[in-house]
A and B are shown apart, each in its own frame.
Chain A
C-alpha cells in the first residue's frame, strides 16, 4: 500500500499498518510527536484501535524552534 506521510509517498508491504508499527518503521520510537490521519488526530490512547490504510494522508509533527 501507499501512504502519504508528511507530503511524500511511502510504500509498505502490508495492506494496513498500526500507528505503533508505523512509528517503529519510521525510526521515531521514543521521539515526541503527534500524528494525524486524513485530518483527524490519532490520540495516543487510540493507537491500537486505528489502522492506517492505502491512500491515507498522515502528518507527523513535532516541536521546533520558533517565535
Chain B
C-alpha cells in the first residue's frame, strides 16, 4: 500500500527531521500577524530570519518577530542576507548563534552584486569552510552550478540551496537541467532557494526531485499571501508525490490513446 499522506516521508537536515518540505522567509510581510498567518497556512516548520541592528529607540513593549514565531514551534534559520563578503557572513552567523542560544543551523548566502543578488560563490566557499569548522550546520545558497554545489557538499554543508532564478524575481525554474544534475550528484538535501513565483514553480522543483523549496517573496508579495501560502503547501506536496510516484516516460513521436482501440463504433 502506498503511503498517501507522506507521513513517513521526512526531510532530514543535519540529523533534524521535518515533515514539511516548504521553508519560508519572514520578510516583506505587512506586519507580524500576517507573517504568522501565512506561515500557519503553509504549515512550514523552518523559518528564515535576518540578523540586523536592534532598534534602539523602541518602546519596551514593542513586539518582536521571534515572539510571533516561538522557538518551540519553529526551527529558525538565521541568514546572512545582505552580506557581500565571507567575513561579514561569518560575523553575522556567530552573532546569530549567540542571539539564539547556541542554535547552529544557519543559511549562508554571500552576495556578489547588489543589482542581481547573484551569489559570490568564491566568498561563499571561503565562508562555508570556516563555518563548518566552527561547528555550524550550514545550509548554503548558491548558483545552479553543479561543480560548485558538489564542492560545497564536500566542504561539509548540510544542504545545498541553488537558485531557481534571481532572488525576489518570481521568474520560476530557469534551468531545470542544471538542477537535475545537482540533485543527481548530491548526497545531502537539495533545496531550491529563490526565484519561485507561483505554485507550479514549486511543484516543478519538487517533481525534479528537490528535497524542498525555500521561498519568501512569492508568498509575501502575493495579493493574498495567506492563500498563496496554502497553495504553496499543496504544490510542494503534490510535486513531491508526483516525484515519488515516478512520472511516465515522455513520448514525443508516438502518441498512445488512453481509451481502447478495440470496439470502436464504425
Which residues on A are within 8 Å of B, measured CB to CB? 5-8, 26-34, 36, 39, 41, 43-44, 59-67
B234-249 interface code vs A (CB 8 A; 1 in, 0 out): 0000000000000000
Please tell me which one of the listed residues A7, A28, A60, A65 contacts residue B28 in the complex, with CB atoms under 8 A apart. Answer: A65
| CB <8 Å contact, A6 and B53 | yes
Q: Known contacts A34-B99, A43-B98; is A66 also within 8 Å of B25 by CB?
A: yes
> Which residue in B50, B76, B91, B168 is a CB contact (below 8 Å) of A64?
B50
Contact B60 A63 (CB under 8 A): no
Q: Which of A7, A44, A66 is B50 in contact with, Cβ under 8 Å?
A: A66
- Kindly state whether residue B18 has any CB partner on chain A within 8 Å: no
Residue of B nearest to A60 (CB): B54
Interface size on B (CB < 8 Å)?
Answer: 39
Q: In the bound complex, what is the Cα–Cα distance between A60 and B52 (angstroms)?
A: 8
Judge whether B76 and A41 touch: CB under 8 Å: no
23 intermolecular pairs with C-beta atoms under 8 Å apart: A26-B56, A31-B54, A34-B99, A36-B91, A36-B95, A59-B53, A61-B53, A61-B99, A62-B53, A63-B50, A63-B51, A63-B64, A64-B49, A64-B65, A65-B28, A65-B50, A66-B49, A66-B81, A67-B27, A67-B28, A67-B48, A67-B167, A67-B214
Alpha-carbon gap, A52 to B168, bound state (A): 40
Q: If the complex has contacts A31-B64, A32-B66, A61-B53, are A67 and B78 also in contact, measured as CB distance less than 8 A?
A: no
Q: Contact at B98–A5, with CB atoms within 8 Å? A: no
Cα–Cα distance between A47 and B35 once the two chains are bound (Å): 34
Please tell me if B165 contacts chain A, counting CB pairs below 8 Å.
no
Chain B interface (Cβ < 8 Å from any Cβ of A): 25-29, 35, 48-56, 58-60, 64-66, 76, 78-79, 81, 91, 94-96, 98-100, 167-168, 194, 214-217
Q: A28-B56, A32-B64, A65-B50 are in contact. List 11 more A-B contacts (CB 8 A).
A: A6-B54, A27-B59, A27-B60, A41-B95, A59-B53, A64-B49, A65-B65, A66-B25, A67-B27, A67-B79, A67-B215
- Cβ-closest chain A residue relative to B29: A65
Q: Given A26-B56, A34-B96, A67-B216, does the pair A62, B64 have CB atoms closer than 8 Å?
A: yes
| Cα-based distance from A67 to B50 in the complex (angstroms) | 7
List of B residues within 8 angstroms of A63 by Cβ: 49-52, 64-66, 76, 78, 96, 99-100
Contacts of B214 in A (CB 8 A): 67
Closest chain A residue to B49 by CB distance? Answer: A63
* A65 B95 Cβ-Cβ under 8 A: no
B99 and A66: CB pair below 8 A?
A: no
B99–A32 touching, CB < 8 Å: yes
C-alpha spacing A44/B194, complex, angstroms:
35
Contact B54 A66 (CB under 8 A): no
